[in-house]
Chain A
């Protein structure tokens, strides 16, 4: 604000018009986002809601008309929708803890002062984060292959018959979680940033009191990092609720094995691009939005109880 001379006493008399001028420039610079927000976020969101009350089709000569709650009723009565939600939540139950904890553990390891060459390890652990998504799926799929994959070959070395990870309904979720591990680099860096922000005096004091490493971890490191845990958790939730592109690549979205990869977003995607039912897809999309909103709000509310902000008064 002062950049525009507001603080200069000589111009105090023109304060109001200066403030207006500043606001005008602010809005001018803001305009790309305002236009983008309206065109690509707000209006499409409202339109999606409106679509969900119509019979609109991707390719159809039939006139578009309002059908009231028909899509929503059909959706709630559709067993496939519930099944797709169950699939998404079952996967999330495994994926989320891993997505939050594994980067933390790696960051803890890399932050240890006993580690030789920490810089090199940081580069190496972060590197796969930059491998393009499709490439990492294709590479890990090979890793989990039953005959030539190294996971099963390593198991075979110990005399264990390696399973067919990606085709076994009981193992598909661990296989998919493993397949996503190369994405931990981003979270790891954020945790490392958080770790470097913890005042060393806390550890000094704890050491004088004779606190063990584990107690220091539990009573200093983890509480001090709680904002980072929250950040990773919320982004993890948003991500996992949209999960489906991996299985699109692996098995073309067939839902195999046994419907265990029939994720909710895959269902929306098919409803739209395979069946062209935009009305139904819109209702499904809005339901996803409401679910995401409800869960993130709950997490933020609950966070008041367990997140500690050092700067808070």
Chain B
């Protein structure tokens, strides 16, 4: 699925040579077919168990998101179930799972029980007019009959209570503006580092990388003060304006990628009289699109994730908040009282990033690889 990334084991051994070596060493190919098969099953089994555990919180969240407060308070059951009752002569009778002498289990409504006699009297909801059934035993040993009863209304409640549509639109708008800003600025800066020689280039590039290690709080106090003084607190400006001034991660990623593009075409363009801007637009950018897509996706997802920025500048402005902050506030206000609705809101908030990921997964991987392998050197 991720063809950009191939593993050592599977690619690095040219087939003929491998079998030669294997034969020479008398290993590997003579083991018979059972052991490799068992190993395959074993390894894949471990991976299956690991991934099941790893992703199970999503499933739990899904089940919680369709439970009512009552369904949650009775704890244990996996699915959103509601106990069955049966209305009989204007009374709501509890329905139980009753084991019958013949070994079968029937769902019967409890009419009355007699502790002294050790008997319980049921009626059959299917045939309420038939004679009551007298059952020998303790009613407290019986389990209630339940019916699957998912509360899909949690989703509409969450949608309305959190003003989901507004949060979603705010989030998309913020992410879009930031992505444009990052693309414009980081492409230019990466181009400068990758293709131009100027005094101080190496020192400046080290400075770029060094800012990755800088704690956020080392700069946030004066920035916050200034933004507040010039009236930007409570607006989107503190979140989107810095995006237009390049950031270390994306400059680094783009620069690493641009370095891998051969210079032949640049030179040809230069001989044709193209200036640096034309070379960038018509030669470099068309070749750099995998890195550009990767940076766009990272920025979009990063912005979608950002919680600290909105927390600082938008806490008092509900109308301008993105999903991250809206969700955190919703969680703080409602989680103890009604976790189902909070999980519903949470799941709705991750739909867009997940779809985004599934569509663009190849670019995610390529982008991380460019950064990762770059830092190694």
Contact = CB atoms under 8 A, between A and B. Distances in A.
DSSP majority for the B interface? helix
B278 to A, nearest CB: 11
A257 to B, nearest CB: 16
Contacts of A228: 372, 376
Given A29-B191, A286-B218, A114 B377 contact: no
A217 interface: no
A308 to B, nearest CB: 11
A104 B75 CA distance: 36
B159 interface: no
Nearest to A34: B204
Most chain B beta carbons < 10 A, residue from A37, A153, A186, A195: A37
Interface centre among B244, B246, B324, B371 (most CB of A within 10 A): B246
Given A120-B1, A139-B343, A181-B54, A278 B357 contact: no
What bracket does the count of chain B residues touching chain A fall in?
35 or more
Given A132-B305, A207-B25, A231-B376, A48 B7 contact: no
A249 B276 CA distance: 48
A134 B376 contact: no
Interface string A96-110: 000000000010011
B39 interface: yes
Given A41-B214, A195-B7, A196-B11, A186 B270 contact: no
A245 interface: yes
B58 A133 contact: no
Nearest to A285: B217
A204 interface: yes
B188 interface: yes
A2 B269 CA distance: 11
B364 interface: yes
B55 A124 contact: yes
Interface stretch (B44-52, B95-103, B129-137): B44-52
A115 B246 CA distance: 41
B146 interface: no
A298 to B, nearest CB: 13
B218 A132 contact: no
Given A121-B51, A189-B365, A193-B373, A30 B216 contact: no
B8 A111 contact: yes
Given A1-B197, A249-B331, A207 B28 contact: yes
Interface stretch (B119-127, B147-155, B347-355): B347-355
B12 A200 contact: yes
Contacts of B10: 113
A200 to B, nearest CB: 3
Given A142-B64, A196-B8, A204 B21 contact: yes
Interface hub of B58, B244, B251 (most chain A Cβ within 10 A)? B58
Interface stretch (A4-12, A71-79, A169-177): A4-12
A93 interface: no
Given A2-B266, A23-B198, A29-B191, A140 B301 contact: no
A200 B197 contact: no
B225 interface: yes
A112 B9 contact: yes
Nearest to A296: B213
Contacts of A47: 221-222
A284 B216 CA distance: 12
Contact of A249 (B207, B328, B368): B328
A91 interface: no
B318 interface: no
A159 interface: no
A132 B349 contact: yes
B213 A234 contact: yes
Nearest to B171: A132
Nearest to A237: B213
Given A39-B245, A128-B55, A285 B44 contact: no
A275 interface: no
Contacts of A32: 184-185, 188-189, 244-246
Interface string A1-27: 111110110000000000100111111
B335 interface: yes
A148 B1 contact: no
A29 B372 contact: no
Interface in A132-187: 132-135, 138-143, 145, 147-150, 153, 181-182, 186
A114 B36 contact: yes
19 contacts: A3-B270, A5-B270, A23-B199, A30-B189, A33-B189, A44-B218, A44-B219, A58-B225, A109-B46, A132-B350, A134-B323, A138-B343, A142-B64, A148-B72, A192-B7, A194-B376, A196-B11, A242-B217, A292-B213
Which 10 interchain pairs have the tightest Cβ spacing? A36-B245, A200-B12, A119-B1, A26-B196, A190-B372, A3-B266, A29-B192, A113-B9, A23-B198, A47-B222
Interface of B: 1-2, 5-13, 18, 21, 24-25, 27-28, 36, 39-40, 42-44, 46-47, 50-51, 54-58, 60-61, 64, 72, 75-76, 184-185, 188-189, 191-193, 195-199, 201, 204, 207-208, 211-225, 242, 244-247, 251, 263, 266-267, 269-271, 276, 279, 301, 304-305, 307-308, 311-312, 323-325, 327-328, 331-332, 335, 339, 342-343, 346-347, 349-350, 353-354, 356-358, 361, 364-365, 368-369, 371-373, 375-377
Given A39-B245, A124-B54, A127-B55, 7 more contacts: A48-B222, A115-B40, A123-B361, A124-B55, A133-B305, A193-B373, A285-B218
